């Protein structure tokens, strides 16, 4: 049964262990009065340390490395109790682990002592190379963590510089600059005609040249009546006399009465009765 662990002030000593045992025994009595049972554990002892496992799931609850264990002893007044003191790797505090066993208290204590003896012999045989190798590995792992932290900081700085460069480029661009837009096209992919835009020889978007604009002759042609033909592109409002509507009305009335045309002279001759 595992009574638990408690912090102690010294890494070794019989009195230190006794105080820890009394403290944990008192805590066990309180838990029993509340209906809680003392948990059972399984111990794995090797030259690397002592592992405290759950007997059913085999989950490691505590891993006490052997080189961190500074004291191990059984209680002379209570043959069921044995303890060891181990320095915690995270908090660097000395913790006393207390166990209660009915039969194998001495065997467990001797086994931990034998693990220390074997570990020391292995250390002498390797000439301390094993310990040095572990120190080098620990130093390299620490250096890797430092480099990873430095790399993350550099990435953040590069990202900040890129953001500042984008902001500077946005502010440096002229405020009134407008990107010229391509002219919109119709359903035939042709640029619509605009009287303001001059005709150019640039091919349209579909790759074909626009049809050439027919050249207008400078010579004025006349019709069979000797008048200039009507041209909606060249004539203006000033080309017609102010009483053009009245003359057109007269011509229409004259045609109804049998108006004949001879050259540019209009006359009203009597109609031949044979017509």
Residue 172 lies in a domain: no
Residue 160 and residue 115 share a domain: no
Residues 18 and 121 occupy one common structural domain: yes
Asked if residue 181 belongs to a domain, the reply is: no
Alpha-carbon gap, residue 75 to 254, rounded angstroms: 149
Region of residue 4 (left: phi > 0; alpha: psi -120 to 50; beta: else)? left
Same domain, 16 and 101: yes
pLDDT of residue 125: 77
Tokens found for residue 27: 């805590």
Q: Is the dihedral of CA 46, 51, 55, 57 positive or negative?
A: negative
Q: How far apart are CA 42 and CA 28, in angstroms?
A: 19
Q: Are residues 20 and 114 in the same domain?
A: yes
- CA-nearest of 107, 82, 106, 109 to 96 is 82
- When divided into structural domains, the chain yields a total of 2
Tokens for 48, please give them: 């690397």
- Given this model, what pLDDT does residue 260 score? 54
Q: Please say whether the beta carbons of 73 and 14 come within 8 A.
A: yes
Tell me, yes or no, whether 133 and 65 share the same domain.
no
Domain boundary among 166, 188, 220: 166
Residue that is last in its domain, among 108, 126, 144: 126
> Residue 234's pLDDT is what?
53
**Same domain? 141 vs 61:** no
The CATH number covering residue 21 comes to 2.30.29.30
Residue pointed to by tokens 């074909």: 208
Is 0.85 topped by the overall pTM? Answer: no
Query: Quick one: 56 and 150 in the same domain?
Result: no
Q: What is the reported pLDDT for 229?
A: 61
Domain range holding 84?
Answer: 2-126
Residues 9 and 101 both lie in one domain: yes
Q: What is the largest CA-CA distance in the chain?
A: 165
Final residue belonging to a domain, choices 126, 150, 185: 126
pLDDT of residue 164: 87
In a domain, residue 235? The reply is no
Do residue 86 and residue 27 come from a single domain?
yes
Residue 38 lies in a domain: yes
Which of the residues in the chain have pLDDT under 50? 197-200, 202, 204-205, 237, 262-268, 271, 273-275
Distance (Å, rounded) from C-alpha 38 to C-alpha 28? 7
Contact 112, 84 (CB under 8 A): yes
Query: Tokens representing 125?
Result: 């045989």
120 and 38 in one domain?
A: yes
Instruction: For residue 100, list its beta bridge partners.
Output: 81
104 and 156 belong to one structural domain: no
Same domain, 14 and 111: yes
Is 12 contained in some domain?
yes
Distance of CA 59 to the CA centre of its chain: 38
């Amino acid at each position: 049964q595992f009574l638990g662990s408690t912090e102690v002030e010294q890494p070794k000593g019989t009195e230190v262990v006794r105080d820890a045992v009394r403290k944990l025994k008192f805590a066990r009595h309180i838990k029993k009065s509340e209906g809680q049972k003392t948990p059972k554990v399984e111990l794995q002892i090797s030259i690397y340390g002592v592992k405290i496992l759950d007997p059913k799931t085999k989950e490691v609850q505590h891993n006490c490395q052997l080189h961190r264990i500074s004291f191990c002893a059984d209680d002379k007044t209570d043959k069921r109790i044995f303890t060891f003191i181990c320095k915690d790797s995270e908090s660097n505090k000395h913790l006393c682990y207390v166990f209660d066993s009915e039969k194998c208290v001495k065997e467990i204590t001797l086994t931990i002592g034998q693990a220390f003896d074997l570990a020391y012999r292995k250390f002498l045989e390797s000439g301390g190379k094993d310990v040095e190798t572990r120190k080098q590995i620990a130093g390299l792992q620490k250096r890797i963590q430092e480099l990873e932290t430095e790399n993350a900081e550099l990435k953040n700085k590069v990202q900040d510089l890129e953001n500042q460069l984008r902001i500077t480029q946005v502010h440096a661009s002229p405020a009134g600059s407008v990107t010229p837009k391509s002219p919109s096209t119709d359903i035939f992919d042709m640029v619509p005609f605009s009287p303001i835009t001059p005709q150019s020889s640039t091919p349209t978007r579909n790759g074909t040249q626009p049809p050439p604009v027919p050249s207008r002759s400078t010579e004025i042609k006349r019709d069979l009546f000797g008048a200039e033909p009507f041209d909606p592109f060249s004539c203006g409002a000033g080309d017609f006399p102010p009483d053009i509507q009245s003359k057109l009305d007269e011509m229409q009335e004259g045609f109804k009465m049998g108006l004949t045309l001879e050259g540019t002279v209009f006359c009203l001759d009597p109609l031949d009765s044979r017509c």
